[in-house]
Amino acid sequence: MNNNIGVYICHCGGNISDYVDVEKVKQAIATEEGVTLAKTTIFACADSNQKEMVEDIRQQHLNGVVVASCSPKLHQITFRAVTERAGLNKYNYVHANIREQVSWAHSDNKPGATEKAIHIVKAAIAKVRYAKSLDPIIIQSQKAVAIIGAGIAGMKAAIQLANMGCPVYLIEREYFVGGRVAQWDSLSTSSETGKQIITRLYQELIKHNTITLFTGAEISSYSGSIGDFHLKVNIKPRYINQQCNEGGLQKAIDVCPVILPDEFNFNITNRKAIYHNFPSEYPQLPVVDMVHCNRCGECLKICGAIDLDQKDELLDIHVGSILMATGFDPYTPIDGEFGYNQINNVITLPQFQRLINLNEKKLIFNEKEIRHIAYIYCVGSRQPEGENKYCSRYCCTTTIHIANVTRRKFKEINNYHFTRGVRTYGKQETLYRESLANGDVFLQSYEDDLPVVTSEDGKTIVKINDILTMKKSMEIEADLVVLVTGMVPRAENSIGALFKLPKGRDKFFNEIHMKLRPVETVIDGITISGACQGPKNVTEAINSALSAATKSFSYVSKGELELEPIIARIEKDACTWCGACANVCPYDAIRIENDGQKEYAVINNAVCKGCGMCLPVCPTDAIDLTAYSNSEIESMIDALAQD
């Protein structure tokens, strides 16, 4: 019980003292039990007052301090620091808010305001009497980071972490690295292609021996918390041991009788059950798609390096932080959306990107040479009725860039852009300018009057009431209609459910604070980056990857973590394990333990946030919250309820 308490009552210029009689407050609390010092001050936060407080605490050996001033959000940290400077533990400080909660709220009733201020300060004094010195909780943190997804964000984050001296496990579900960016050929405002950028990153990545790359790998389970995550990783084999003798592997691919749609090319071409996506791809060893392989054995006759009996491997990984970089899927239009899947020359932007990459000299689709291309924007984004209300950010720029590339690569191309307003922000505006100079036609409509794609006598017609031409009805005959599809979260996103990562309304993973904590999640130790968080272009994905890498590194760099000591504590003897606390805990911090004699609840100190949700549900009152014990709260209530 602290009995040498100093109380400071702040005027806040006049913000408080204009409505609250601070002298009267001082007099009223000066006689409270344990108060040995009561002062008023014009600005409690002023340097001079802080110095005075430090001297008071030192000279009078105060063991409890209260400042009655503004919101604790503003200055609690300031005054905790003051007590620390004076050699008093910062948890022996209690903040009383008599500005936001009193003077500003009751400017119409000065006597009432003063009355309320007295009660609030008395409650703070009541709490500080019970205050105890607390030390931060120190937990060990495993110096390693697991990165989920080896796309451009994951690869860049891995390199960044390795450069900082941190061991990295880079875990990729697919058999090849590079994710979506490897699928794009020409990238806007960059002279390098997606493949070149990925190759460059891969070369850099393999130079670091602290990076362990797993392909064909999926996380089957996880346990633990910040600083101490345990992951079980299931690694599928490639079924090929090493490169075959000269060209043998290609012959093996050629004889494979299984023909499948090639997802790398968004199903506009086919592949075999033995495949690689493109010749210079990394890792360079092809892979057998065991889901579709019919084990006919034709390939085995040609190449001895193929071994269809390889088994899955299960690895345990121990890391201090997890960095999510699982990327996105392109939106798949529903059947009949702008003729998709009903008119045979309606394709999506990713398909078109693969198409112009695969074609040389002449642009051919469905055996027909393409001259007139209609691009319909905002398909799957900014939906008037669907769930995707967001803008996918990358699509205007990419479409215009691809339209420009198509013009350069093929002859006599006419581009018609059916937009809902062009958003080529920043430097990307120059691409828009270039396309206008090229003679690309831009038409625009609102969301309530979208363009219509119809098939008339074998011709594909796109119609629009163009708001840039006084809503005049206009049409073109298109050889190819490209639906500019936005980004959506991965369809197979079970990894998010495994980690219980919260999602936003857009179904992408959610950060804690869009502006101030953009890569942290509510699961301590798990950061997010790249397009798994929401639509991003390459630049933006890299920015967030570097940011998440730095954040994840901060969790593991010291090998230990200091955590706030205000957490729930369970009295083992009183606990009867009913499970009520574990059910309400929003952080999954309570688990059952059995010492052979009884079952009881245990708090994971690293995960508990001290929210107090478990306290009221405990039937035996076995849980107490540090710094908010029952005696503290009850004495505060008594003080507030006093006449």
Partner 1 sequence: MARIDTKFGVKLKKYGAVDFTACYNCGNCTAVCSLSTQDNSIPRDMVRYSVLGLQDDLKASLKPWLCYYCGECTAHCPQTANPGELMMALRRWLTSKYDWTGLSGLLYRSLPLTLLFFLLTALSVLIFAICKDFNLETIMHYGHYFEMGAIGAVFLIILLPNIIRMWWFVILKPKIKVTLKTYFKSIGELIVHMFTQKRSLSCDENKFRWFEHFILVIGYLMLLFTTVFLDWFSAKNLFVIVLGYVESMVILIVTVDFVMTRIKKSREVGKFSQPSDWFFVIWLFLLGTTALFVRVFIDLHILEFHIWLYLFHLTVLAQWAIIIVPFGKWTHFLYRSFAMYFEKLKETQYHEPTI
| Site of interaction with partner 1 (CB under 8 A) | 414, 416, 422, 432-433, 436-442, 444, 463, 466, 468-470, 472-477
Find the shortest distance in angstroms from Cβ 440 to partner 1. 8
Find the shortest distance in angstroms from Cβ 474 to partner 1. 5
User: Of 329 and 429, which CB lies nearer to partner 1 in the complex structure?
Assistant: 429
Find the shortest distance in angstroms from Cβ 442 to partner 1. 8
Find the shortest distance in angstroms from Cβ 416 to partner 1. 7
Find the shortest distance in angstroms from Cβ 469 to partner 1. 5
518: left (phi over 0), alpha (psi -120 to 50) or beta: alpha
Query: Measuring CA to CA, which residue among 365, 337, 252 is closest to residue 300?
Result: 252
Neighbours of 300 (CB within 10 A): 14
Single-letter code of the amino acid located at 523 = I
Q: How does DSSP assign 134-151, residue by residue?
A: ---EEEE--S-EEEE--S
SS (H, E, C) 173-195: CCCCCCCCHHHCCECCCCCCEHH
User: Of 329 and 434, which CB lies nearer to partner 1 in the complex structure?
Assistant: 434
Find the shortest distance in angstroms from Cβ 17 to partner 1. 55
User: Of 185 and 466, which CB lies nearer to partner 1 in the complex structure?
Assistant: 466
Element (H, E) at 546: helix 538-556
Find the shortest distance in angstroms from Cβ 460 to partner 1. 14
In which residue are the tokens 């002859």 written?
411
Query: Measuring CA to CA, which residue among 590, 588, 586 is closest to residue 600?
Result: 590
Instruction: Give, as one character, the DSSP assignment of residue 530.
Output: G
User: Of 97 and 444, which CB lies nearer to partner 1 in the complex structure?
Assistant: 444
Find the shortest distance in angstroms from Cβ 407 to partner 1. 12
User: Of 460 and 544, which CB lies nearer to partner 1 in the complex structure?
Assistant: 460
Query: Measuring CA to CA, which residue among 281, 170, 261, 260 is closest to residue 216?
Result: 170
Instruction: Give, as one character, the DSSP assignment of residue 509.
Output: B
Neighbours of 569 (CB within 10 A): 15
Contacts for 273 with CB less than 8 Å, ≥ 6 apart: 256, 258, 260, 288, 289, 292, 293, 294
3-state class percentages of the chain: helix first, strand second, coil last, to nearest 5: 30, 25, 45
User: Of 399 and 444, which CB lies nearer to partner 1 in the complex structure?
Assistant: 444
User: Of 141 and 399, which CB lies nearer to partner 1 in the complex structure?
Assistant: 399
User: Of 69 and 419, which CB lies nearer to partner 1 in the complex structure?
Assistant: 419
Find the shortest distance in angstroms from Cβ 364 to partner 1. 22
Helix ranges restricted to H, 180-339:
194-207, 248-255, 298-302
Element (H, E) at 9: strand 5-10
Both tokens assigned to 355: 């198409």
Residues in the chain, total = 643
Both tokens assigned to 159: 């390199």
User: Of 110 and 372, which CB lies nearer to partner 1 in the complex structure?
Assistant: 372
Q: Nearest 5°: phi and psi at 409? A: -80, -35
Find the shortest distance in angstroms from Cβ 479 to partner 1. 14
User: Of 266 and 410, which CB lies nearer to partner 1 in the complex structure?
Assistant: 410
